[in-house]
Structure 1
Amino acid sequence: MKRLLIMASLLGATPALADEGMWTYNNFPSSKVKEKYGFAPTQDWLDKVRLSSAKFGGGCSSSFVSADGLVMTNHHCARGCIQQLSTAKKDFIANGFYAKTQAEELQCPALEVSQLLDITDVTEQLNAATKGLTGKAYADGLKAEMAKLEKACATSEQFRCDVVTLYQGGKYNLYKYQRHQDVRLVFAPEQAIAFFGGDPDNFEFPRYDLDVSFLRVYGKDGKPAKTEHYFKWSEHGAKEGEATFISGHPGRTSRGLTVSQLETLRDMTLPKTLFRLSEMRGQLTEFQTRGAEQKRTSTNLLFGVENGLKANKGKLEQLSDKGFFAQKVAAEQELRTKVNADPKMKAKYGSAWDEIARAQQTYRDLRKEYESMENGLYSQLFGLARSLVRAADELPKPDAERLRGFNDANLPQLKVQLMSKAPIYPELEVLQLTFSLTKIREELGTEHPFVKKVLGKESPRALATRIVKGSKLADLKVREQLLSGGKAAIQASKDPLIQLASLVDPDARAIRKRYEEEVDAVVRKNSELIAQARFDVYGTQIYPDATGTLRLSFGAVKGYVEDGKQVEPFTSMGGTFGHATGEEPLALPKSWLAAQKTVKDTTPMNFVTTNDIIGGNSGSPVINQNAEIVGLVFDGNIQSLGGDYGFDESVNRAVSVHSDAIVEALQKVYKADRVLQELRPGATSAKGGSGL
């Protein structure tokens, strides 16, 4: 997967006509779009698209597609909700789900959909609060000012406010969100078609997936929310060469990192991540052979592990490409040369790269203990236990002094997570805790004080089994009592998971404090300086790295060349049946086999565009210049996996479900009249097909 990037991208200047960039809504290059595609998005157009887009859960995107709160996203984004609503007798992952009436729509146990209402530049306030500060003082000052701004913004529980760091600290924006917490499942196809081709086809093209789900947000009155802003459905869907826009929440990119930071990722972080994910995949694959229920309860987790494994492998391959890395080195050196040539800039910015390099060495020294103590233990139950223990410590403190995530502005979301009715699967909990305890012992060694403190005389499996079987945290009432009881309730608790979280927390806090003050604060402070140097040298008309916040990219429907062969931009629904073998993961569900004769073979199924995306864009709407739905993003091609570090328009592609395929499937396979009527008033299902 070798790709070389154009130098303009690496240097921080915007390529003249490349479809590069995940742009913020308050700095979108409309003139550049007009120059290439003949259409300049106006402020009214941008506002409509922003308000019609939504963040879905903790790591996906979505959009409003009707005036009655109907939300569209990927099946794999809604999979957590779908699995939580499933039982051994009603497996909606395997068999799909369709609510034929509003009363049958099922509430997701732990899901929030949020809509970006407003963006405010707060760079001056953050810079003033940290001016002249370094180390601990800088970290404390930044944290306190962020908490202050977020608290003042979040005037009620229906809103959430986040300070967003852009350009590695060159700018700070305050994002205000409308929160929708009553989210109900309306329609989901079977896993077999939503993830048709499974892991072998993941991040590949051609693809043949119907990776879509529909949900609905409700108001506090228990009625569907009225959404003023939403995307209408296009009449014909995307066409080759047509300009496309993708509005979503790309997770994180690292295009602005220094060479020393990229070396840390290449040489340490990514290899370690791959080793861990590979081992976890093996554990889960074995777990799924234990029985049907074990397979059902672990499918969502296995998907995430396999997806992460493939994505991180692509990242490592990109950073290991000598030609690519040489360009990153050259780009950094050119900027440093320009800075050093100006005495004022040299005095202000010249040492920033070296300071970050020293912080990387500090991180390498801290990594084993930091990753083991602060991030090493994980499972659904342990996450609840740690949040309860930390909430008891943090909430009595002044807001500005709390750990991030426990500030007043975050409390509504924290309570939703702690009070979630999502099911917990004890056998899977034991597996995850056993694995994480084993890895901690492996990393730190049997003689490390932390390992002895945690394990004592027990093996990882014995300890995990004992505390999961003995814990009552799966009971919502127990969690409510512990949260309301505060520190006294936590200290009095005999629950083994609470006791474990309390046992490890002092060590975790201590190593986290060192990391925040000796690594994170140094990186943040000096990254701000490098960002300002880029602004001084290259100007401000550049896009920032992705941060999990709403962005807009532009591009066009366009194929590409791979291994000397032309890859056409579309697949067809007829090709879906041709791709099937009858064996997993290429076995179509019964509903599709029953409807094969009625489905129009030439209907476009999936397609690719030159839009710049990254993980987190899953579920993003693909729209045309009329702000109409023409597709739904669900993946990138294999060449896009290096997109964390750069963009190459010649081969990087976003992969989407075509809007016509969604309508064709709803109409002829599932006979989902209610959904069809909302998307296209007047449409009805066709005869044939088995429905759900």
Structure 2
Amino acid sequence: MTRLLPILFLLTAGLARADEGMWTFNNFPSDLVKARYGFAPSQEWLTKVRLSSARIAGGCSASFVSPTGLVMTNHHCVRDCVQQLSTPQRDFIVKGFYATTAPQERACPGMEVNKLTEITDVTDAMTKATQGKEGAAFRDAQRAEIARLEKECATAPDVRCDVVTLYQGGMYNLYKYQRFQDVRLVFAPEEAIAFFGGDPDNFEFPRYDYDVSFVRVYQDGKPAKMDNWLRWSSKGAQPGELTFVAGHPGGTSRLLTGEQLRYQRDYALPERLFQLAQLRGLLDEFQQRGPEFTRISNSLKFGVENAYKAMVGRREALVDRDFFAKKLDEEQKLRDWVKADPERQKRYGQAWDNIARATDTLRTMRIRLRLLEQGAGTGSDLFGYARMLARSADERSKPNELRLEEFAEARKPELEQQLFSPAPVYPKLEEALLTFYLTKLREQLGPDEPVVKQVLGKQSPQALARKLLSGTRLASPQVRRQLYQGGPEALRASKDPMLELIRTLDGEARAIRKRYEEEVESVIDKNGELIARARFEAYGTSIYPDATFTLRLSFGQVKGYPDEGKTVEPFTRLAGLYERATGEDPFRLPPSWLQAKPRLDLQTPFNFVSSNDIIGGNSGSPIFNKDAEIVGIVFDGNIQSLGGEYGFDESVNRTVSVHSQGILEGLRKVYNARRLLEELGQGGGG
């Protein structure tokens, strides 16, 4: 056994190094934090932080900041709500929004906020359900057990339960949430200050953004009562201070195999970047048609540009030869450790090759899978509503454990909230998106493909898009509700052209999804579990799992970083905001900030960086000190952090946050938000 010690040393050396890690709350390395910073978070401290943290189900993080349900998050996390509440006459994206009284708080269509109340280990149940199964049998057993566990847990509409896969299937946890679906907007600044610098400054530092907003969760028509919430620090972030981030990182790929990383580098990322570039060009042209075209498409364009820049950063990490070689070396060390023992080799040795074969299968089906299933509709709201309705006609009549996962009984409140959302549908934008989708369908599958012929017939993509829009009634929430509540018979009898489009596509879409789940997903899940067990055998839970849009806690400190021979200081100040302003987009300040300049303390810290480990999905996370006091709010990472999808470099990867003192300075002296300041315990002064 002693001959394996050098290999084990190589495996464990560098694990949990520096400030790396997005740790689960039931496996947080308090001893490691104490060793580095002299503070060990207690279980009581961890529980308070967990219950003070929040998730915005659409893809962001947040925190409870008052006993009456006030939630702090980023402006870009509530942007859809702000746009949906806007009209051509009252554009809150441009003008901002502040409810000076409680009755003025406006309901956000389709927004859901979750609070994590309980974590249960269900690994044994999941492992037992899938033991000895392969392929379709493995996937069916896995899906059935997840549906059973979630349904058993979700005992009321305001309870949400998700089975979470950790360590590539080495562990399964059941996360139980309190669900809030009555969410109302309280404050949102103008986008010109929330996203000051626009795309040129995105993922950059120094930065000067006021990317903060507040919403409130309600229960039974009244502000929800909170037993746990985060208070405000009296000083905010200080140089060298220990900081924590509690948030919901959306997903990382740090535990992928070499073959999976090659697929990302050579196929998934380049093709996604090409599509995003085309979609961005389409939206640029769309916005040239006039101010209203710009207003209704700005949220989509923001998302496209943000995704494009993030994926450029990911691909740059994977094409870096040294970085990629390091990832392959880490994998090889684990494989060598497995090979060193015949029993381990028998249990785990084939897992990497099986995943490689599944990845090859994915490569052959990827275009069809993207066009017909995973990326179908290119973000069209009407396409999404039609697919939910058409599929619900089939799925709701099946036993719970046999349904597509998004139609499982435990997901019903989420599905119905989306389907019945009163958010406006914009016909001109829908026409552009549907035309784009139908064009790509014909272009990439080919005009002789049977499903393309069935969909388009003799029509052009634009002509069909216009025909669909002129005939559909699915833009009406009332119509969608009537069809859904009418059940399978009403849905199958409907001749709505959007439903007809989905019916034409759905046979092929379901077929490619089934093949993907059986030949790719199930194989990767099964063999990923084996690799995870090998990791556990080598070094237990001394590593953290990949991100899964579930609550995680990271630690770090406020500090700058080296960049091209110079040191980037950790803070920016309000004075720099005015120095950076040019009067032209995207460096144009809104009138409120220009008028407030004489009243502001220009030395107030505005944005800052820390070494906390984050990724997309952490937007809106609170950043706080050892006393669980807010020192800022996370809104971005620096450009070097984009490679954090695949690995973490503590020397340069940085979290970018709005400083808590900068937030207060704006609320007091720009927006005169007295009601909000008093609720935050920051009334008076200024």
TM-score, structure 1 as length reference: 0.97
Q: 2:138 aligns to what SS in structure 1?
A: helix
Counterpart of 2:596 in structure 1 is 595
Higher alpha-carbon deviation: 447-456 or 621-630: 447-456
AA aligned opposite 2:436 = F
AA aligned opposite 2:681 = R
Q: 2:67 aligns to what SS in structure 1?
A: coil
Counterpart of 1:484 in structure 2 is 485
1:9 touches 1:647 (CA, 8 Å); kept in 2? no
Q: CA deviation at 1:272?
A: 0.3
Give deviations 1:42-67, integer Å, cap 9, x for gaps.
Answer: 00100000000000131000000001
Give deviations 1:238-270, integer Å, cap 9, x for gaps.
Answer: 000000000000000000000000010000000
Counterpart of 1:96 in structure 2 is 96
Q: CA deviation at 1:655?
A: 0.1
> What is the CA–CA distance in structure 1 between the aligned matches of 2:586 and 2:477, rounded to whole Å?
37
Counterpart of 2:468 in structure 1 is 467
Give deviations 1:167-216, integer Å, cap 9, x for gaps.
Answer: 11010000000001111111110000000000000000000000000111
Q: 2:452 aligns to what SS in structure 1?
A: helix
Q: CA deviation at 1:10?
A: 10
Q: 1:405 to 1:79 in 2, by over 3 A?
A: same
Counterpart of 1:246 in structure 2 is 245
AA aligned opposite 2:683 = G
AA aligned opposite 1:257 = L
Q: CA deviation at 1:454?
A: 1.3
Q: Structure 2 matches for 1:113-128, cutoff 5 A? A: 113-128=113-128
Q: CA deviation at 1:109?
A: 1.1
AA aligned opposite 2:265 = R
AA aligned opposite 1:577 = Y
Q: CA deviation at 1:503?
A: 1.4
2:265 touches 2:315 (CA, 8 Å); kept in 1? yes
AA aligned opposite 1:166 = L
> What is the CA–CA distance in structure 1 between the aligned matches of 2:338 and 2:480, rounded to whole Å?
55
Counterpart of 1:4 in structure 2 is none
Give deviations 1:521-567, integer Å, cap 9, x for gaps.
Answer: 00000000000001111222110000011100000000001000110
Counterpart of 1:368 in structure 2 is 367
Counterpart of 1:260 in structure 2 is 259
1:9 touches 1:646 (CA, 8 Å); kept in 2? no
> What is the CA–CA distance in structure 2 between the aligned matches of 1:531 and 1:15, rounded to whole Å?
15
1:13 touches 1:538 (CA, 8 Å); kept in 2? no
Q: 2:71 aligns to what SS in structure 1?
A: strand
1:17 touches 1:32 (CA, 8 Å); kept in 2? no
> What is the CA–CA distance in structure 2 between the aligned matches of 1:133 and 1:620, rounded to whole Å?
40
Give deviations 1:457-503, integer Å, cap 9, x for gaps.
Answer: 11111111110121100111211111112221122111100111111
Q: 1:226 aligns to what SS in structure 2?
A: coil
1:194 touches 1:209 (CA, 8 Å); kept in 2? yes
Q: 1:500 to 1:674 in 2, by over 3 A?
A: same
Q: 1:160 aligns to what SS in structure 2?
A: strand
Q: Structure 2 matches for 1:20-35, cutoff 5 A? A: 20-35=20-35
Q: CA deviation at 1:15?
A: 3.6
Counterpart of 2:195 in structure 1 is 195
AA aligned opposite 1:419 = F
Q: 1:8 to 1:309 in 2, by over 3 A?
A: farther
Q: 1:405 to 1:9 in 2, by over 3 A?
A: farther
Q: 1:405 aligns to what SS in structure 2?
A: helix
Counterpart of 2:424 in structure 1 is 423
> Is 2:305 the counterpart of 1:306?
yes
> What is the CA–CA distance in structure 2 between the aligned matches of 1:562 and 1:124, rounded to whole Å?
47
Counterpart of 1:44 in structure 2 is 44
1:140 touches 1:401 (CA, 8 Å); kept in 2? yes
> What is the CA–CA distance in structure 2 between the aligned matches of 1:160 and 1:480, rounded to whole Å?
22
> What is the CA–CA distance in structure 2 between the aligned matches of 1:611 and 1:290, rounded to whole Å?
43
Higher alpha-carbon deviation: 12-21 or 198-207: 12-21
Q: 1:234 to 1:428 in 2, by over 3 A?
A: same
> What is the CA–CA distance in structure 2 between the aligned matches of 1:633 and 1:10, rounded to whole Å?
34
1:195 touches 1:210 (CA, 8 Å); kept in 2? yes
Q: CA deviation at 1:329?
A: 1.2
Counterpart of 1:533 in structure 2 is 534
> What is the CA–CA distance in structure 1 between the aligned matches of 2:683 and 2:294, rounded to whole Å?
41
> What is the CA–CA distance in structure 2 between the aligned matches of 1:9 and 1:593, rounded to whole Å?
58
1:162 touches 1:174 (CA, 8 Å); kept in 2? yes
Q: Unmatched 5+ residue regions in structure 2?
A: 1-6
Counterpart of 1:442 in structure 2 is 443
Q: CA deviation at 1:17?
A: 4.7
Q: 1:217 aligns to what SS in structure 2?
A: strand
> What is the CA–CA distance in structure 2 between the aligned matches of 1:9 and 1:450, rounded to whole Å?
55
AA aligned opposite 1:608 = V
Q: Structure 2 matches for 1:18-417, cutoff 5 A? A: 18-220=18-220, 222-375=221-374, 376-378=376-378, 379-417=380-418
> What is the CA–CA distance in structure 2 between the aligned matches of 1:644 and 1:103, rounded to whole Å?
42
Q: 2:78 aligns to what SS in structure 1?
A: helix
Counterpart of 1:3 in structure 2 is none
Instruction: State the Cα RMSD in Å.
Output: 1.3
AA aligned opposite 1:26 = N
Counterpart of 2:500 in structure 1 is 499
Q: 2:633 aligns to what SS in structure 1?
A: strand
TM-score, structure 2 as length reference: 0.98
Higher alpha-carbon deviation: 434-443 or 38-47: 434-443
1:10 touches 1:327 (CA, 8 Å); kept in 2? no
Give deviations 1:294-340, integer Å, cap 9, x for gaps.
Answer: 10000000000000000000001100111111111111111111101
AA aligned opposite 1:660 = Q
Higher alpha-carbon deviation: 371-380 or 572-581: 371-380
> What is the CA–CA distance in structure 2 between the aligned matches of 1:73 and 1:394, rounded to whole Å?
35
> What is the CA–CA distance in structure 2 between the aligned matches of 1:324 and 1:542, rounded to whole Å?
20
Q: CA deviation at 1:445?
A: 1.1
Q: Unmatched 5+ residue regions in structure 1?
A: 1-6, 687-692
Q: 1:555 aligns to what SS in structure 2?
A: strand
> What is the CA–CA distance in structure 1 between the aligned matches of 2:68 and 2:158, rounded to whole Å?
18
AA aligned opposite 2:346 = A
> What is the CA–CA distance in structure 2 between the aligned matches of 1:410 and 1:8, rounded to whole Å?
43
1:197 touches 1:586 (CA, 8 Å); kept in 2? yes
Counterpart of 2:3 in structure 1 is none
> What is the CA–CA distance in structure 2 between the aligned matches of 1:651 and 1:561, rounded to whole Å?
7
> What is the CA–CA distance in structure 2 between the aligned matches of 1:391 and 1:240, rounded to whole Å?
54
Pairs aligned (count): 678
Q: 1:596 to 1:95 in 2, by over 3 A?
A: same
2:362 touches 2:516 (CA, 8 Å); kept in 1? yes
> What is the CA–CA distance in structure 2 between the aligned matches of 1:253 and 1:291, rounded to whole Å?
39
Q: 1:661 aligns to what SS in structure 2?
A: helix
Q: Structure 2 matches for 1:661-672, cutoff 5 A? A: 661-672=662-673
2:451 touches 2:504 (CA, 8 Å); kept in 1? no
> What is the CA–CA distance in structure 1 between the aligned matches of 2:665 and 2:523, rounded to whole Å?
54
AA aligned opposite 1:138 = F
The sequence identity of aligned pairs, in percent, is 61
Q: 2:406 aligns to what SS in structure 1?
A: coil
> What is the CA–CA distance in structure 2 between the aligned matches of 1:443 and 1:654, rounded to whole Å?
39
> What is the CA–CA distance in structure 2 between the aligned matches of 1:10 and 1:332, rounded to whole Å?
11
> What is the CA–CA distance in structure 2 between the aligned matches of 1:607 and 1:540, rounded to whole Å?
32
Give deviations 1:562-594, integer Å, cap 9, x for gaps.
Answer: 000110000001111111001000000000000
AA aligned opposite 2:149 = L
> What is the CA–CA distance in structure 1 between the aligned matches of 2:539 and 2:38, rounded to whole Å?
26
Q: 1:160 to 1:320 in 2, by over 3 A?
A: same
